[in-house]
Structure 1
Amino acid sequence: MARAQIPDSDGLAAVLATRGEAPTRDQKAMAVRYTLQLLAERAPGNTVEVRVPPFGATQCIEGPRHTRGTPPNVVEMTAEVWLDLARGVLDWDDAVQAGNVYASGQRADIGGLLPLLRGRFAE
């Protein structure tokens, strides 16, 4: 069964709401899930697992399929860091060097796929 897709209008509204000083948990959750959805659409596959706890995770990038246990290529970060990367407010290399992103595995560099929103929501 396919996952329900977040409509662009709802997802973009949530992303915009997270730019404010105090987004609700629901707004943050929808913004994270929507941008993870965009990532999976941009780079379909199952080689890298991108985790943004506690709101969501997705698999992306073509290559060897992972099916059990901890995947060999994992990227994990907070919702705030993820949304800044997705909007283009934060640079991938800077986030990794600052220790704000955990990236493990040969294919865990997703910097070339970011930003997802092409700077439309940069601050």
Structure 2
Amino acid sequence: MKRPDAGALTRLASLRMSLTGTPEPDVRRLLELPAPTEPADASRAEERLVCAALAAGLTLPRAHLAAAVRTSLARLEEQHPGKLVEVRIPPFGAVQIGMVGVASAHTRGTPPNVVETDAATWLLLVSRHLSWHDARADHRVRASGAHADLGDLLA
């Protein structure tokens, strides 16, 4: 993550309190872990907890969705530097990434390869609770361009 999110510790504490008593096993398992004390660790913990709650069908406040999306996009951008594909999760964020083995001559503006989806779908994809194939088949992801298939990257 580029810089620690100063509000992550407070948001995580609030999220943990709101999910206390949830019967979902994946959520309970994450709640049993010790709470992080550093903002960067809290951001990652919040992302994991949000993803587990979404996979369990729980509804979460917008602030938690936004933070989890931004954390996941920052990690994606860090792990896959480049400007070949733009990944958009409106209204929370967008990043440009590269793909292994694919050279990119793109230098300005929006790349010719664009992936766009909503926050819940994105978080289910990055947490592997939803496959790229199923998301595409259900029209939950819009992808255009020859290199806009993130299936292998998210598998």
TM-score range, shorter chain: 0.7 to 0.9
Secondary structure of 2:126 counterpart: helix
Q: Deviations over 1:73-118 (max 9, x none)?
A: 0000010100000100000011112111000001101111115xxx
Q: Which has the larger radius of gyration?
A: 2
Q: Select 2:62's aligned residue among 20, 25, 32.
A: 25
Structure 2 gap ranges (5+): 6-39
Helix, strand or coil for the counterpart of 1:107?
coil
**Greater share of helix:** 2
Aligned partner of 2:117 in structure 1 is 77
Whole-Å Cα distance in 2 between the matches of residues 72 and 8 of structure 1? Answer: 34
| TM-score normalized with structure 1 length | 0.81
Which position in structure 2 is the counterpart of 1:9?
42
Alignment of 1:41-80 (within 5 A): 41-62=78-99, 63-68=104-109, 70-80=110-120
Q: Kindly report structure 1 stretches of 4+ aligned residues shifted beyond 3 Å.
A: 3-6
Instruction: Indicate if the aligned counterparts of 2:47 and 2:72 stay in contact, CA closer than 8 A.
Output: no
TM-score normalised by length of structure 2: 0.65
Unaligned runs of 5+ in 1: 116-123
Looking at structure 2, the residues matched to 14 and 87 of structure 1 have their Cα atoms a distance apart, in angstroms, of 9
Q: How many pairs are equivalent? A: 112
RMSD across aligned positions (CA):
1.8
